[in-house]
Structure 1
Amino acid sequence: MGFKEFKIYQMEVLHHAHALQLFCKHAFKMDSPPHDYVDISRDIIGKADGLPLALVVIGSSLYRKSKQLWKDTLKKLNLVPNQDVHHKLKISFEMLEDAQREIFLDIACYFIGEKRIHPHYMWKALDYFPRSEILVLTRMSLIKVDDFDRLLMHDLLRDLGREIVRQEDLQMPGKRRRLWCPKIALDVVQSRMGTENIIALKLIGLSKEQDFTSEEFSRLPSLRFLELEGGNLVGDFTNLLSSLRWLSWHRCPSDLHTVNLCLWNLVVLKISDSNIPKNWNGWDSCLANRDLKVIHLTRCHLSTVPDFSTCLNLKILVFDEHSPKSLQIGNSICKLERLKRLEIIAPPVQLSKLSESLDFDLFAVPSAIYGLKYLSSLKLEGQCIQELHPSIGEMVSLTCLSLRDCHQLRKLPDSIGKLRSLLELDLAQTEIIGLPDSIGYLKNLEKMSLDFTPIRELPNSIGGLQSLLVLDLLGTKITELPASIGYLKRLERLLLDQSEIRELPKAIGMLENLKMLFSQDCRNLEGEIPMEEWNLSKDITWPPELWTLSISCDDPRSLTRLPFTLRLLELSDVKLPLEEPFFSNLRYLRNLSALSLFRCRLKEVEFEQLETLHHLIVVECELLVRLSGLSSIGKLEELTVNSCSQLLEIRDLGELESLKTLSIQDCGSIERLPNLSKLHELRTLHLLHCESLQGLPDVPNTCHPYVHGCPTLCGSGDKLRDCRKCCKLRGYITAIFPTWFYGVPRLARPST
């Protein structure tokens, strides 16, 4: 197997003390080893060469394992050459049981970025125990499951998994179990070199669409995973693909050219970007298994939905970005008594075209949906629903209800309060003007989104939401919050950006778990946060756990009594100078690690005594000419300066000995940067669209510069030899507000 390009890079290694701490964090769940594990821990760390991934994976694999297994692991590491990272990681793979290895290899080859629940049903049909197996892989740090329930894996672990598969037979790909490279898979199928070993094929992204014959698939009796793009199946498929559990087909044909195709064991069916006619001849083949668990249709043109009478054990049914305007839901859906997730999501539509929006009215199908007693997640997004039927209260198993983008929905029925199991309620970008008092009965609700709705006030009963963690009021018409909001003792995140809030109640100080408070662009807010009488007040009470504060602020002098727990501070729209006393007043914020200045109308910013700051972002400060005082921020690791068109100078930049990342973008006036060669920690330098920049500064050998849109640097000779030219720069996207600043992804704001 040949490779067209190689990517050579120097992996960062940790010093011994940091390596020991990282290893122990995963091996013992503490910062140092027990006294009887000190020597063997140091030996294992030495063999891991300080590589963070190896330390994490090996440490996680040894957690709560016997001392003998520790000794065996060390012996195996002693046999591996120092630079052979794959073999060190493979030691953890070899600790896995058979089913865990199979799931790990499936993820490495096919399921990175896939929602966990979909392959879960495939693995369960293979008599694995995916819930516990995934937990083991996660605890061993071999995979991750993110907040969106997606399966993730480090690139090195992905490469390890694929290399393990490749080693099954170096010369004959047809004898390997998994083929994820489409060209190799196509060659094996068309040359009829497939064997019963093959369990998974990926045939997408080919230069042209391919038809596949029954004779070609007759050599693949063990196939359980198949991913196709375009093309067709041709011939008599009697007794073929009988082991198939997963079929994914992008641009599926509207007329299958096959006969006797019966997918008796299919568990997951995913079809996308396809035109499916009313009497499509593929439904009988695909819905033959009464234990089919997942039907996921994305961007498909559907005249009608199929008859679900043959797959009564369906768990997940998704129509994502369906068309045409009217999606006819047949009565057979009410037979899906075991259905847990139903999603009917319209394609994006501009507000100006709402009159042409998709037509789906719950009153037309009450029996078809409200009778699904086991349904736990219901998403009806972008539909023409004017109001919910009171029968919604009978769906007592619901944990998630999303009516996002239903632009005609104006109210909720009182029966919504009966959904006692509800964890998430999303009403964003609807026309909801108020909430019923019964909303307070949702004692288990953890997240409620009302962003960009015309709602003007919250009922006092909102204080009954004792489990609420996130309250999103972004862009609403709300002018004040009820005092009962102080009873939301578990609330961690409150978003008020772009709302019409005028003041905050003093009860805000009762929110003992509030960590994130966003209130930018609140035009009606009098004074700062909280109101004018709170400014400079000695008896101000901030939420005791507040660690993120994002506010618009004309005069920074009103912010002298910020909560000492603050870690992340974002200031926007500052008009008066940020003078030395302001920054010296921040000295008591011993936890402050990140500061962002956004859209501040300042000509100069001089920093002073911010000794704990690690991250500094300066964005869209169009009048800014000079940044100075950086030498007082001795621990600064990341500096981002974006869209400061008049910036001429960044003083003391060459003295930031801890700096690891420097990004300067769209600063068209800056002409020179100082010598950076003494910044030995600097790893990344991004210079984008700085048209006046006259020369690339000297940087340490460990630094990797990226230059794009800086025309005067094109002839910089040797200094540019390590830069990736514009045409090589792919995938670099500047994040104005990185996710580390907020702890969670920042909500996108629609353009105004």
Structure 2
Amino acid sequence: MSTSSSMAFQFGASSSLSFSSSSIRRWTHDVFLSFRGEDVRQNFISHLYHALHQRGINTYIDNNLKRGEEISSELSKAIEGSMISIIVLSKNYAESRWCLDELLKILECKEMVKQIILPLFYDVDPSEVRHQKGSFGEAFAKLRYKLKDEVKVTKWEAALEKVANLSGLELRDRNESKFIQDIIKWVDSIMVNRTFLKVAKYPVGIESRVRDIFQHLSMGRNDIICMVGIFGTGGIGKTTISKEVYNRISYQFEGSCFLKNIRETSKAGGLIQLQKTLLYEILGISLECHDTEKGINVIRHRLCFKRVLLILDDVDDLVQLETLAGARDWFGSGSRIIITTRDQHLLNISKVDSKYEVKRLDHNEALELFSWHAFEEDKPMEDYVELSKHVMQYAEGLPLVLTVLGSDLRGQNINYWRSTLDKYKRIPSKNIQKVLCISYDGLDDNEKEIFLDIAFFYNGQYLNHVVKILDSCGFSPENGIKRLIDKCLITITTYNTLWMHDLLLDMGREIVRKESPKEPGARSRLWFHEDIRHVLEENTGTSNVEGIEVILPEGDDHDMIRLSPKSFAKMKRLRIFKSHGAYFSGRSLDYLSNELRVLDWSNCPLQSLPSNFRGEKLFDFKLYRGRIQEISGQFKNLTRMRFFECTFLTKISNLSSCSSLKELDIMDCENLVEVHDSVGFLDKLARLHLYQCSNMKSFPRRLKLRSLEVLTLFNCSKLQTFPEIECIMEYLCCISLLGTPIKELPSSIGHLTPALKELLLGQCTKLMRLPSSIHQLQNLKVLISTNDCKDLMRLPISVSHSQHLKCLSLENFTNLAKEEIGLSIGYDKCLKHRKLTISRRIKRSELESSAELRRQLLSSLYWYLDDFSFYSSSTLQELDLSWGAVVSLPPTMKIYVELRILRLCHCEKLQEILHLPPNIQELYVRECFSLERFPEVSTKFQFSTSYGLRELRWIDLSGCHKLVANIGSQVPNPSFVEKHIQDHSYGIIFPGNKIPDWFSHTKEISNGDDSCELDISGPLYLEEIIGIVFCAVLGSDPDYPLGPFSGICVSINGNMLVEARFYLYGGSDHVYLNYSFPDCIEQLLRYPTEDNLRFRFYCDSYKVMFKSCGVHIIYKHEENENLTVGECSVDSSNGIQLSKRRRDDEDSNLEFNGYPQHKRRSQDLGNSNAT
């Protein structure tokens, strides 16, 4: 993994680091490894380096075995150029002067460039490093004796103490392989949060402005939500500065998002897309909605508990703010929202907490920035000093203008400079666009055309696609775009899209407006919707018009444009027509230009294309919600054809002339009946997608698509026949036939080797058999045939021979013959490490006759067994017995030493759990209404003298209301925890309504909420903390009797600590209890503090509410009071039945509710015992 940053930090002269003048570090390495070679080089370090390298993490390792007295300049630069330093503190680390000098350099980089450090305590204790004790101290003493330099030794002592106090990872007695995996996960998490936005090549003047903004952000306060507005004129650097702020602080938040170019994006109804981007960047979820109100509700609900950084760039309308960040309480405490805008009044009415006006560069800053672009150094060349000062007068301190002018003059002789300055003199003061236009005037005709096309049609689009379109127009895009980049008129983003500053966009539009100020129909390009309406309705277009893009402003989407047959008649040179959101009247046109390269028309009113339209130059063709009925044409240069929701489209006619077609996408064309056979012979077609064409009956009978990569026939619910494959398709990797009623696949499907990896047959309700030739698909990895494929009767024995098959799913195959199941899974060596899912009622006689069937069926997701008994392999790792008629687990369960996950959900006859596999990690027993006995669950969470089921980390007992148990009855014993439990987390959920009495910090929530916060003030003595116990009482909405699937999270100071997911049933209360025993509490806190910890409990479902929450901190050497309480039970016939001890002792930690039908009675008794 490598960072996308190409910048570097800038520091004052006092820094000892030799960095360039950029503001974000140009990291040459992701990770630097510091280690003592003789301790770890041949084993641990080599394995760690290999793992980092395999992960794509650019890692520097010093392989020089002979080291001198001082670290080399090369090594020093390697440290400075690394984002992360991993320091392996082994027993002899402190005996090496070289290692300790590396440590000093690393700590210096931590202070100066915010380098991140991860100490690894390799067979040493952090306290030994901190105080130079034990074997580590002995090694340091040897160096001290040998060196006899107390000044140097004092520096090293301070450095060792400092690094030992940082959050780190300890090996102790852990497996090295697992230890390395934890390191990789840690590095991955840092890399994600430290991927930088591209700021500027020469960010002169940024540092001081960023420091000013930090003053407004109040970064030291996590108890407030702060909104800051950054305003200033266009081109002054608002976006650049806010990117730099984002890069500096984004990693400090739980989530962050930089929403760029909001003004332009929102014009075309893009506010919904902005909401989607916001949620995806912060939460990683894809929002499916079609209105902003729903998006507002999701943002407000999902982010109100998260500490986020949100930057809204280039806002020009209050609606944008109201849609994306309408109020502070949309976000969690400690969040920061930054808004950049040209409109200070917008900030006033939105009531931001603070405003910052970006000042223009002063003379020295402006001269330096100009010099970097004009001369590639920080000051002008001697002969150009006076001329450069004249340039300053016209740039007026605007970074954008300085950048463009400097790039324009770079490499030119002094006469060219003088000539250009003479042009500047003729421009009135304050007319920035005219100054910028001089750079445009210096372009040749090809470059000017490309510049204007990008300004009007392609800003923000992918470079590769734009290059192809421009090439189809006869331009020379490679050279032209390179020239525009060189002159800083466009840039290429990290995502390989084109980007042009809005001042330059405006300049391009003004250039075109001036082509014909009074008559838009005489201009080369049209974008303003009223001009387009005038031209199309009044038939005033001319042969000058080359491109039109209709984008209606918000609220004008139903204002119809009236077309006549002659609307396009005079536009003989029209190359581009794009319309998004506009509505048109008129059913036909007499003419469309045969020069068209792009036809992208939503709500197209045409029933057919004009008869004289050949479309021979058409490159990209898209219709959305149009009235078109049939498609045909001589589209020999067409590469992409897309039709979405064209409900009148009935037929795709002969496309044999479309010899260049690479993508054919047809979605939701519900009346499409026929796709012509010619589509099956398009030699360059790489993607063929038909989605939800519910009436399509006729599809090509034969496929000879040598370039095809993906074939999708999704929910084509009347297509019964799959075509014959007539050639080897060496690129086809995925076929999806989900929801398609085909009856069988042809034997010729074997021609799809070697590329085919996925064959998806879900909901193929009529599928009866798979061909034996399927075994020829040697690289097939996923064969999924799920959900109601009930007619499948024959599964070839060859399926199990596939050496690459990883996932074979055959759920709900009620007609699949038992011999077919047995044969299909009869090869243990092939399916040993794979996942097989089958659902069919199995008789005991069938199990007894096939050992392999026993082994596989007991690992399926759903199974039914008439006569329950266990037959399985002891190597089984996951077992799902849900919905089964299990009464009790037999003693033979203990032979399954490899079993890690056991599911017993909805086993309504299950009465007791007395025997479990010894290495079980996760146990799911929800909704087992008859479960009464589970002794292990009581002893599991005592952490005092015994430690059974050491690997069991999660137990789900939700809905088990009859269970008699004694969970959380006493405080964990600190000495036992310190000796036996290291770096583990244990959780459980069970019916109940009370936090254990021994919890030191609790909070009641009277009305219920989807989050709960607890503040614990210090001093906290973080070094002494060995564990934290969390507890929450949860209630679900009674209107949802089946209960929502929910996720509960607990964070400390904004950093996620634990997370669990479960169902809550029947509207009853449940207790979530978690014991967390980290190696070092500081590693959970990015910014550990001695005087305050904020714990936040929150849930991702609004149907679940917190009724109370609690935290208990476990310290070393703490006295264990061993508070114990009795058991609680619930009886479905008598409501609540308390054990004798519970009746005698009102301090019990648990109260179990009754069944839903006894809810009122349960609550009454629960309330009587509430404290």
Separation in structure 1 between the aligned mates of residue 881 and residue 1102 of structure 2, nearest angstrom: 28
CA contact (8 A) 1:333 1:368 kept: yes
Given the alignment, which residue of 666, 674, 683 partners 1:255?
Answer: 674
* Residue matched to 1:590: 1027
Amino acid at match of 1:303: Q
Report matched runs for 1:312-327 at 5 Å. 312-313=729-730, 314-323=732-741, 327=743
In structure 1, C-alpha distance between the alignment counterparts of 2:241 and 2:189, rounded to whole Å = 7
The 5 A counterparts of 1:665-704 are: none
Aligned mate of 1:497, from 880, 895, 905: 905
> RMSD of the TM alignment (CA)?
6.4
Alignment of 1:427 onto 2:837:
yes
User: Separation in 2 of the partners of 1:453 and 1:477?
Assistant: 8
Call closer, same or farther: CA 1:267–1:143 in 2, change over 3 Å. Answer: farther
Could you say what secondary structure the match of 1:438 adopts? helix
- Partner Cα separation in structure 2 for residue 85 and residue 320 of structure 1: 48
Shift of 1:342: 2.2
Q: 1:539 to 1:188 in 2, by over 3 A?
A: same
Other structure's SS at 1:427 match: strand
Query: CA, structure 1 residues 502+624, in 2 after alignment: closer, same or farther (shift >3 Å)?
Result: closer
Residues 214 and 234, structure 1, Cα contact 8 Å, conserved in 2: yes
> In the TM superposition, what is the alpha-carbon distance from 1:320 to its structure 2 partner?
0.4
Greater fraction helix: 2
Query: Per the alignment, do residues 589 and 508 of structure 1 end up closer, same or farther by CA in structure 2, a change over 3 Å counting?
Result: farther
Structure 2 equivalent of residue 405 of structure 1: 812
Contact 1:227–1:247 under 8 Å retained in 2: yes
Counterparts of 1:83-482 in structure 2, within 5 Å, are: 84=240, 169-173=454-458, 178=465, 187=578, 193-194=596-597, 203=622, 206-210=624-628, 221=638, 223=639, 226=642, 228-230=644-646, 231=649, 237=655, 239-240=657-658, 242-245=660-663, 247=665, 249-251=667-669, 253-256=672-675, 263-275=682-694, 279-280=698-699, 282=700, 287-300=703-716, 301-313=718-730, 314-323=732-741, 327-338=743-754, 339-346=756-763, 358-362=765-769, 365-370=770-775, 372-381=777-786, 382-384=788-790, 385=792, 388=795, 390-409=797-816, 411=818, 412-413=821-822, 416-422=825-831, 423-427=833-837, 429-432=839-842, 436-438=850-852, 448-451=859-862, 453-454=864-865, 457=868, 459-465=870-876, 468=877, 470-481=878-889
Structure 2 residue corresponding to 1:557, chosen from 940, 950, 966: 966
Q: CA deviation at 1:228?
A: 4.3
Q: Report percent identity of matched pairs.
A: 15
Question: Between Structure 1 and Structure 2, how many residues are aligned?
Answer: 518
- Residues 73 and 91, structure 1, Cα contact 8 Å, conserved in 2: no
Shift of 1:522: 1.7
Cα distance between partner residues in 2 of 1:328 and 1:546? 46
Counterpart Cα distance in 2 of 1:559 and 1:622: 23
SS in 2 for 1:345: coil
Aligned 8 A contact 1:621 1:643 in 2:
no
| TM superposition score normalised by structure 1 | 0.52
Amino acid across the alignment from 1:308: I
> CA separation in 1, counterparts of 2:701 and 2:312?
35
- 1:236 and 1:271, CA in 2 relative to 1: closer, same or farther beyond 3 A? closer
Could you say if the C-alpha distance between residues 523 and 308 of structure 1 is closer, same or farther in structure 2, counting changes exceeding 3 Å? same
Asked whether the 8 Å contact 1:273–1:299 carries over to 2, the reply is yes
The 1:83/1:257 distance shift into structure 2, 3 A limit, reads same
Shift of 1:298: 0.9
Q: Aligned equivalents of 1:568 and 1:159: distance in 2?
A: 43
Once the two structures are superposed, residues 71-92 of structure 1 have per-residue CA deviations (whole angstroms, 9 ceiling, x without a partner) of 9898898699575478569999
Instruction: Provide, for residues 88-132 of structure 1, a one-character-per-residue CA deviation record: whole Å limited to 9, x for no partner.
Output: 69999xxxxxxxxxxxxxxxx9xxxxxxxxxxxxxxxxxxxxxxx
Counterpart-to-counterpart distance in 1, 2:867 and 2:1035: 28
Say whether the 8 Å CA contact 2:643–2:669 is kept in structure 1: no
Q: CA deviation at 1:413?
A: 0.6
Structure 1 contact 396–420 (Cα < 8 Å) conserved: no
Alignment of 1:662-741 (within 5 A): none
- Checking the alignment, whether the CA contact within 8 Å between 2:797 and 2:823 is kept in structure 1 is yes
Distance 2:451 2:1096 in 1: 40
Q: Out of 510, 513, 538, which is 2:919 matched to? A: 510
Q: C-alpha distance in 2, partners of 1:472/1:167?
A: 62
Q: Is the 8 A contact 1:319 1:344 kept in 2?
A: yes
Shift of 1:401: 0.9
Does the residue aligned with 2:966 lie in a helix, a strand or coil?
A: helix
Distance 1:379 1:616 in 2: 29
**TM, length-normalised to structure 2:** 0.35
- Give 1:372 shift: 4.3
Q: Does 1:28 align with 2:84?
A: yes
Q: State the shift of 1:404 in Å.
A: 1.4
Deviation at 1:250, TM superposition (A): 3.9
Q: 2:1071, 2:905 → 1: CA distance?
A: 29
The structure whose Rg is larger is 2
Q: Secondary structure of the equivalent of 2:872? A: helix
Whether the aligned pair in 2 keeps the contact of 1:44 and 1:77 (CA below 8 Å) is no
From 930, 933, 937, give the equivalent of 1:527.
Answer: 933
CA change 1:30–1:651 in 2 (3 A) is closer
Cα offset, 1:312, TM superposition: 4.1
Aligned equivalents of 2:915, 2:992: Cα separation in 1:
24
Moved more, 498-507 or 543-552: 498-507
Per the alignment, do residues 224 and 55 of structure 1 end up closer, same or farther by CA in structure 2, a change over 3 Å counting? farther
Give, as a single letter, the amino acid of the residue that structure 2 aligns with 1:171. Answer: F
In structure 2, the partner of 1:684 is none
Structure 2, unaligned runs of 5 or more: 1-23, 33-56, 58-82, 89-101, 116-187, 211-236, 249-264, 266-279, 287-307, 315-449, 467-496, 498-547, 552-575, 581-591, 601-616, 1003-1024, 1039-1050, 1073-1091, 1112-1171
